[in-house]
Amino acid sequence: MSDHLFRPQVRCVLVAAMTLGFALVFGATAARGAVWYVRPGGGGDATTIQGGLALAQSGDMVRVAAGTYMEHDLQLPPGVTLVGESGRDSTVIDAQDLGHGVIGADSAVVSGFTIEHAGPLNRHAVYCYQTSPAVLYNRFVDNFERTIVLYRSTSEVAGNEFFTFAGAPSSHVTSAQSTPWIHDNVFHADDPNGNISAIEISDVGPGGIGAARVENNVIHGRTFISDLTRTDTTRVTGNVCIVQNGFSEVFNIAFNPSPLLIRNNTMVGGSGVFLQGNSKAVLLGNIVVDGRYGIQASGGEIVLDCNDVFHCETGYSGVSPGPHDFSANPLFCSAATGNYQLQNTSPCAPGLTPDDCGLVGALQVACAPTITFTITASAGQGGTITPSGVVQVSSGADQSFIMTPDPGYHVADVLVDSASVGGVTDYTFHNVDGNHTIAASFELTPPPPPPAALEVNRIRMAVSPGGSFASDPTFSTGGLEFPRGSGKTVVFASGLWLGAVVNDSTQVTVAEYSDEFRPGAMLNGGPDDPNRPEYRVYRLDRQYASGAARDSALAAYNAGAVPHGAPAVSVLTNGKLDIPGDEMLWHVYNDADPTWHTNPAGHSQPLGVEIQQTAYAFNRSGALDNTAFLKFRIINNGTNLLRDMYAALWSDPDLGGFADDLVGCDSTRSLGYCYNGTNNDPVYGSAPPAVGYDLLRVVKTGGSDLARGATSFMQYLNGGDPQTPTQSYNFLLGRLADGSAITNPITSQLTTYFYSGDPVAGTGWLDSNPGDRRFLLPSGPFTLAPAETLELVGAIVIGDGTDRLSSIAKLRNFDDQVQQLFDGTGCGVAMTVTLSPRTLNLRARGRWVTGYLEPSAPWAADQIDVPSIRLNGTVPVDPAAPVTIGDFNGNGVADLAVKFDRTAVELAVTAGVAVPVVVTGTVAGQCFTGTDTIRVQRAAVTAPLPGSLVFPGKTTVRWEVPAGFEIESVALLSSFDDGASWRIVAGGLPNSGSCQWTVPDVITDRARVAIALARPSNASGYSLDQVLGVSGRFSVGQVTGIAPAEEVAFALRGATPNPAQHELRVSFSLKDSKAATLELFDVSGRRLAVRRVEAMGAGWHTVTLGERGALPAGLYMIRLTQDGRSLVTRAAVVR
């Protein structure tokens, strides 16, 4: 074939991305004239794009600063260049579905924008009616239909990116009776139903003049050309076209009596080229591979030559191959990664094609032939490896293998090149440069330790040795029976969910039917052997039928549970055990074994946490008879910092019949619940109960975090279970699976709480479609460093009324009582409390402060729940001290004598002559409170002053040095929760009256410091003896969070001023222009406002969140989130 027939231009286009510059826009395209600047915050010629365009005349340029502009129907003046000066990543025109984005004009240019949300019907991102602007280097996203419309236009459309439609499927570029030049764009228009076209060119009506050109584009999807009635040849050349589904044509040519040239294109997938009707077309030098059809025609004048039609189900239909057409593997560099350039041995390369066709396809030679290696993969009995056998791998490529055990088996070991890599479930060879082997072996999984049940009141709740509870291990029945012994169940399955960001990776561990937690503690950062006999669920009762039965149970508990973190339990003088509740279950488990992480909702790397779980219940009348308590001590025993950590209770509540359930939440109570859709349940009949889960308290122990409840309530139907850890983590954040926010349809406000209305009153957002429900009650975010502990205490409460709605009312009433009992508020039982010694000062000696508790009739001392006792709400009874019952005041009524650690008491009280001390707890399931006054004498801490504000960094602590006491050294303590918990900052300090303190980077108005006498201790560094002085409460601020040193640009400052009297103006810094949000929450965790701020770019910014008129006086939380990291600060509004 002669060389002059077609000589393709030499070019190199990468399919994965196109690098496009702005030299054309800022250079000679527009005539030089005035430059107008649009700055949304002021400082320019206009604050809106329309305002800038109004100033411009032909030859002028309008330069638009980065930001999001809520504008539509932007009319370009003729000859004006409109430019987003920071490019399309940072400059957004959001038409808000109110009209066109930009309306064209002759000789105008629009460049460097993301244009989105043009609509609705017949409204387009760029609309050119008998006008011919240049549309260059823009991005188009979520426009309703027909992104760019050209009618009788000669526009140039170049360097743009086109993404999904928000409305009706159509075409990205629609050209009618026009001669556009469409080149170097990237189109994403692949549609499984074939309803989207990347480009549609047609002449309906009078014929066009001139030639349309479609050149050098990357097209994911179909191109449609029809009814061309013009004299010049329309050219489609140099395009790379990929169609994923087999039914859409790459090029659909219909009824074209005018000539059409399709030359040097690379077409992959789909149904190739389809020529309909009386079409005239010349197809030269194209590659058509991997499709249902190669080239098909139904009439017309078709000329074919030098096309490579390879690996198509039907190569030609209705047309014969051209004289020099051929069929050969084109040998792309890497089709798997989207690189459709040619290897230098390709039969489509110049000089190697049959009959000297020259270059065939769109792209030039760019790589040598691929060198391949083999990896031989095998699996033993009990499982499979995928892929298996001899696997061919290109040099430098990665290859992954998945090990899948059969039911009842687990991965025992994986040998890579005969070396063990452990019992992993997946393994990846990176940058392969030789042959390898991988062999997996499996072994039978021993049966898990037997489950136990909490069954002391009206509830029977199964508890498994991992993270599942209220779940029958066989899943043959529900896991929470109510009433106990009835065979009726209100919950099918429940479990613990945890999620966090670890080194910028989202990691989630779930107990959702299959349990990713395994029994046992962690040792040296990894899991201990789960098959050790002590890793089981231990049960203790408050009272036993005999002392022998009690001693046997307690001995097993002390031998197997206490060494792994279980709380110590003692025998009271009345022979009962001082456990929480009347029955207690305890066990330990962890998530540190990666081979257990196989649930699709988790299936990520372990977080490295150990969980010590206590379940307990009371055999008392009223609310406690319908309640089961769960306490989780979640300890970071790994080596990673767990950022943005969330903990949640998950439930599949099949309340009687599973298909008629509804769910809801009460965010003020931190309560999520399930109730029946009708008063005709197939199991409970006309009076179905309601079951609720309450997060009574979630707090990082020993830290400065405030205690929290539920921060969201999520629900989904059977079949809507998350399938990836990202989807699960989005649920934990209070978002939908795809990460989008939830909108309350009643208030039109963003929220994190599904169905927060009141079903009893019939108001608010209610669940209205009964079905097989699941729900999740998360709390967070927290940051958990290695060795730190997060404590979650929850309760499952059941209300059983006379019908479905009265059951909700009773559930709420019971839940309030449970919360009050847990908090020690609203106590109705009076308790006489006497403390000894009566004076605390440096001369007072002894290890403890003794409390004598005498309840009022009809209560008795042996009914007091010792673990529930708290002094001033924070100091528990010392578990190492004896607990006795006797008539210590000689009035004929038995008293309970308990002991509190003296140093802890000194830190929990203020100085004074008659200092009130409050002791709370429960007696026979009812809340009690009692008060005594004691004398407290100590030295004063004079700095920081009460009410003062200190900042992170160095500050001076001062205290009075008492006379008459020889105290050589002291310890400095700090608290950021008003004395609820303390940390030793430093010991061995000279008792000189002052020292330097490095204030940590926290924000709180509840800080205190203390000076104490301390002695060295091998176990913990220092052991406190006495308290010398405690400061008043002061604040720490203003910077609330700064990212690590390598990312110092990510920071959040509090509202200024604080408290605010008008609006909440928040200062923050971003590290880059990646997605970022500012959110405003009230103290209950309800999200009130959210704002996207990434368009502001890197650096410091100040924005306004909310309006004072819409915000009542109170405390608010502000959260900044970017790139998976979050910072939180507080702000107050006052009137």
* pLDDT tens sequence across 219-264: 988 887 776 666 677 899 999 998 877 667 777 777 667 778 999 9
Q: Are 494 and 515 in contact (CB under 8 A)?
A: no
- DSSP letter string over 592-639? --GGG---TTS-S----EEEEEEEEE---SGGGGGEEEEEEEEEE-SS
- Indicate the pLDDT class of residue 32, thresholds 50, 70 and 90: low
Give the pLDDT of residue 253.
Answer: 78
pLDDT in tens, 120-150: 888 999 999 999 999 999 999 999 989 999 9
φ, ψ of residue 759 to 5 degrees: the values are -65, -30
pLDDT at 474 over 90: no
- Indicate the pLDDT class of residue 82, thresholds 50, 70 and 90: very high
- Indicate the pLDDT class of residue 27, thresholds 50, 70 and 90: very low
- Indicate the pLDDT class of residue 385, thresholds 50, 70 and 90: very high
Give the pLDDT of residue 24.
Answer: 38
∠ Cα 982 1014 699 (to 5°): 15
Question: Which range is most confident: 92-106, 928-942, 1043-1057?
Answer: 92-106
pLDDT in tens, 267-281: 998 888 988 876 788
pLDDT at 1115 over 70: no
Query: Ramachandran region of residue 364, left (φ > 0), alpha (ψ -120 to 50) or beta?
Result: beta
CB atoms within 10 A of CB 156: 19
* Whole-angstrom distance, CA of residue 459 vs CA of residue 585: 14
- What does the chain come to in residues? 1135
- Indicate the pLDDT class of residue 10, thresholds 50, 70 and 90: very low
Residue 955, CA distances (Å) to 657, 989, 1028 in order: 63, 15, 20
Kind and range of the H or E run holding 7: none
Question: Which range is most confident: 249-258, 743-752, 841-850?
Answer: 743-752
In Å, how far from its chain's centre is CA 24?
A: 42
Structure token pair of residue 1017: 């201790």
Q: Are 277 and 296 in contact (CB under 8 A)?
A: no
| The one-letter amino acid at 409 | Y
Strand partners, 601: none
Q: Taking Cα atoms as reference points, which of 132, 138, 84 lies closest to residue 116? A: 138
- The mean pLDDT of 888-910, rounded to a whole number, is 90
- DSSP letter string over 780-836? EEEEE-TT-EEEEEEEEEEE--SSHHHHHHHHHHHHHHHHHHHHT-S--EEEEEEEE
Residue 188, CA distances (Å) to 161, 185, 244, 706 in order: 8, 10, 11, 47
| The one-letter amino acid at 173 | V
- DSSP letter string over 346-398? -TTSTTTSGGG----SSS-EEEPPPPEEEEEEEE-TTEEEES-EEEEEETT--
Instruction: Name residues whose C-beta falls within 8 Å of residue 964's C-beta, 6 or more positions apart in sequence.
Output: none
Give the residue carrying structure tokens 């792209």: 363
- Indicate the pLDDT class of residue 793, thresholds 50, 70 and 90: very high
pLDDT in tens, 404-440: 999 888 899 999 999 999 888 899 999 999 999 999 9
**DSSP class of 738:** T
pTM: 0.48
Rg (CA), the chain: 36
- The mean pLDDT of 533-552, rounded to a whole number, is 93
* Whole-angstrom distance, CA of residue 1011 vs CA of residue 943: 11
Q: Taking Cα atoms as reference points, which of 811, 744, 610, 740 lies closest to residue 1077? A: 740
- Indicate the pLDDT class of residue 1046, thresholds 50, 70 and 90: very low
375 vs 446, more confident: 375
Give the pLDDT of residue 844.
Answer: 67
* Whole-angstrom distance, CA of residue 696 vs CA of residue 689: 21
pLDDT at 1021 over 70: no
- Indicate the pLDDT class of residue 842, thresholds 50, 70 and 90: confident
Give the residue carrying structure tokens 């300890």: 635
Give the pLDDT of residue 1083.
Answer: 59
* Whole-angstrom distance, CA of residue 893 vs CA of residue 861: 9
2.60.40, 1.20.1250, 1.20.950, 3.30.1390: CATH of 941-1036 = 2.60.40
Kind and range of the H or E run holding 490: strand 489-491
230 vs 1034, more confident: 1034
Q: Are 715 and 776 in contact (CB under 8 A)?
A: yes
**DSSP class of 145:** S
Instruction: Name residues whose C-beta falls within 8 Å of residue 1068's C-beta, 6 or more positions apart in sequence.
Output: 1051, 1052, 1053, 1078, 1093, 1100, 1101, 1102, 1103, 1120
Q: Taking Cα atoms as reference points, which of 1067, 1063, 1075 lies closest to residue 1116? A: 1063
Give the pLDDT of residue 980.
Answer: 73
Q: Is 547 exposed, middle or buried (0-12, 13-18, 19+ CB in 10 A)?
A: exposed
Pairing of strands 234-237, 213-215: parallel
Residue 596, CA distances (Å) to 380, 451, 466, 640 in order: 19, 18, 11, 19
* Whole-angstrom distance, CA of residue 1132 vs CA of residue 426: 50
Give the pLDDT of residue 1109.
Answer: 46
- The mean pLDDT of 649-656, rounded to a whole number, is 94
Q: Taking Cα atoms as reference points, which of 638, 591, 622 lies closest to residue 468? A: 591
Instruction: Name residues whose C-beta falls within 8 Å of residue 358's C-beta, 6 or more positions apart in sequence.
Output: 3, 6, 7, 8, 285, 306, 350
Instruction: Name residues whose C-beta falls within 8 Å of residue 456's C-beta, 6 or more positions apart in sequence.
Output: 541, 581, 582, 583, 617, 618, 619
Give the pLDDT of residue 20.
Answer: 36
Give the pLDDT of residue 1004.
Answer: 75
2.160.20, 1.10.3470, 2.40.50, 3.40.50: CATH of 59-330 = 2.160.20
Give the pLDDT of residue 377.
Answer: 96
Q: Are 1090 and 734 in contact (CB under 8 A)?
A: no
* Whole-angstrom distance, CA of residue 533 vs CA of residue 553: 15
Q: Are 308 and 287 in contact (CB under 8 A)?
A: yes
Cis, bond preceding 483 (omega within 30 deg of 0): yes
Give the pLDDT of residue 824.
Answer: 63
pLDDT at 23 over 80: no
Give the pLDDT of residue 450.
Answer: 63
* Whole-angstrom distance, CA of residue 1029 vs CA of residue 960: 8
Query: Ramachandran region of residue 734, left (φ > 0), alpha (ψ -120 to 50) or beta?
Result: left
The domain 1051-1133: what is its CATH number? 2.60.40.1930
Give the pLDDT of residue 759.
Answer: 94
Which ranges constitute the DSSP H helices of 612-709?
Answer: none
Structure token pair of residue 75: 């009319």
pLDDT in tens, 490-536: 999 999 999 999 998 999 999 998 899 999 999 988 999 998 889 99
- The mean pLDDT of 344-364, rounded to a whole number, is 89
Residue 145, CA distances (Å) to 116, 122, 198 in order: 11, 7, 12
| The one-letter amino acid at 38 | V
Q: Are 341 and 364 in contact (CB under 8 A)?
A: yes
| The one-letter amino acid at 45 | D
Give the pLDDT of residue 247.
Answer: 65
Cis, bond preceding 781 (omega within 30 deg of 0): yes
**DSSP class of 1088:** E
Lowest mean pLDDT among 120-124, 315-319, 339-343, 1110-1114: 1110-1114
Query: Ramachandran region of residue 889, left (φ > 0), alpha (ψ -120 to 50) or beta?
Result: alpha
* Whole-angstrom distance, CA of residue 65 vs CA of residue 84: 6
- Indicate the pLDDT class of residue 14, thresholds 50, 70 and 90: very low
Q: Are 722 and 710 in contact (CB under 8 A)?
A: no
pLDDT at 837 over 60: yes
Classified by CATH at the fold level, domain 452-542+578-824 comes out as Beta-galactosidase; Chain A, domain 5 (2.70.98)
Give the residue carrying structure tokens 């033993």: 380
- The mean pLDDT of 650-670, rounded to a whole number, is 93
pLDDT at 873 over 70: yes
∠ Cα 1093 1098 1102 (to 5°): 50
pLDDT at 828 over 50: yes
Structure token pair of residue 581: 């509740």
* Whole-angstrom distance, CA of residue 192 vs CA of residue 452: 51
- Indicate the pLDDT class of residue 2, thresholds 50, 70 and 90: very low
Q: Are 982 and 1014 in contact (CB under 8 A)?
A: no
- Indicate the pLDDT class of residue 1114, thresholds 50, 70 and 90: low
